[in-house]
Structure 1
Amino acid sequence: MLNDDASRQDVVSASLPDLRREFKTWFSWAPSRSLIASIRSYQRISSDSMFGLAVKKTAILRHRFWSVVTGADIPIKCQIGGGLLMPHPNGIVIHPDAIIGPNCLLFQQVTIGQSKGGVPIIGGHVDIGAGAKVLGAISIGDHAVIGANAVVLRDVPSGATVAGVPAVVVAGDGR
């Protein structure tokens, strides 16, 4: 029998980013992690000194390279919480103004975009299945799960699982 402490170790935090999920060794082939590393590198530099500008230019070139390799359209200035996982980054499209919380999981062909004047706010530890579309000025709660090919046009409560076109809640607890 597991005690409460042991079962809590399996729960991923919705507020504290786990940067080990993004870690990449120097010469390993991990295109999605390299793309995220280029974005983090660009956002980390705030100096307008000659060195800072050179590092930013290098980060932009890295970002362009890894965007082509992965086939993902993730703007270099978008707001992504730490610990993002993209096992298959091909076809992922994120609107520049969208906000993605920490420890999220995005599969291939996911679109997070604008509709009717607003962009989504994705909570922490949200899993978004392959081909899902999250559109409009909506909010996705922490620990939510969005099924493959779902089209989400309404708010999703925390811990809920949604599926379908348009997406509806199919389970109350997504963990």
Structure 2
Amino acid sequence: MLHTKFLDTCTCEVLGGKPRWVYLRLLKVLFSRSPSRQSVLYIRLVQLCSSQGWSIIANWAQYRLVTSFGLYVHPRAEIGKGLRLPHPTSIVLGGGLQIGERCLIYQQVTVGAAPRNHDGLMQRVGDDVTLYPGAKFVGRGRVGNRVVVGANALVADEFGDDVVVAGVPARVIRSTRAGDRVGAVHRL
């Protein structure tokens, strides 16, 4: 992650799109009582410092994430712009995975690392996805764009765009596309 991308992402996610006094306002967030903004800022700090080779600062930010929020984000996880964490506790985002833009992730969500035989980054979560509390992604589990994953769902299969999935194991319970019949299955 480049410094300019870090500032752009933090301005959008942490500061609500207000580009004035960015550095001072980000410093204020580090010492504020807003856990959702603070956790996103620490995630972005880990990504920036890891990509730049600043391991001491990256380890410190990772330590703060784990001890303050119980939140583990692997430095190799690629997370798109617009991440929101309303209740940033007990969230695990493994290595080698890719999460799309404008994702909303609630507490106790686990998105496992990419399988060992997978080359490069594995897209687990598309754009505009909501992951409700307790959702788990394991094995080949992945979802497309504009998907809602229900509470405590176990996603172990591949699902396409515009669906609502829930259950253990997860299955499509509703399609959100206009004109589709209810319950239509859309696979990647």
Distance 1:174 1:35 in 2: 33
Q: Between 28-37 and 86-95, report the one with greater CA deviation.
A: 28-37
The aligned runs of 1:73-152 (5 Å cut-off) are 73-114=72-113, 117=116, 121-152=124-155
- Superposition map of 1:1-175 within 5 A: 20-23=12-15, 25=25, 26=28, 27-44=31-48, 53=54, 57-114=56-113, 117=116, 121-173=124-176
Query: TM-score by structure 2 length?
Result: 0.69
Give the number of aligned pairs: 153
SS in 1 for 2:165: strand
Letter in 2 for 1:38: Y
* Normalised TM-score (structure 1): 0.74
Residue 151 of structure 1: how far off its partner (Å): 0.6
Given the superposition, is the C-alpha separation of residues 116 and 98 from structure 1 closer, same or farther in structure 2, using an over 3 Å criterion? closer
Q: Which amino acid aligns with 2:109?
A: V
The structural deviation recorded for 1:97 is 1.4
RMSD: 2.7
Q: Deviations over 1:113-149 (max 9, x none)?
A: 1486456521011101101111123331111000001
Q: 1:42 to 1:129 in 2, by over 3 A?
A: closer
Unpaired runs of 5+ in structure 2?
Answer: 1-8, 17-24, 179-188
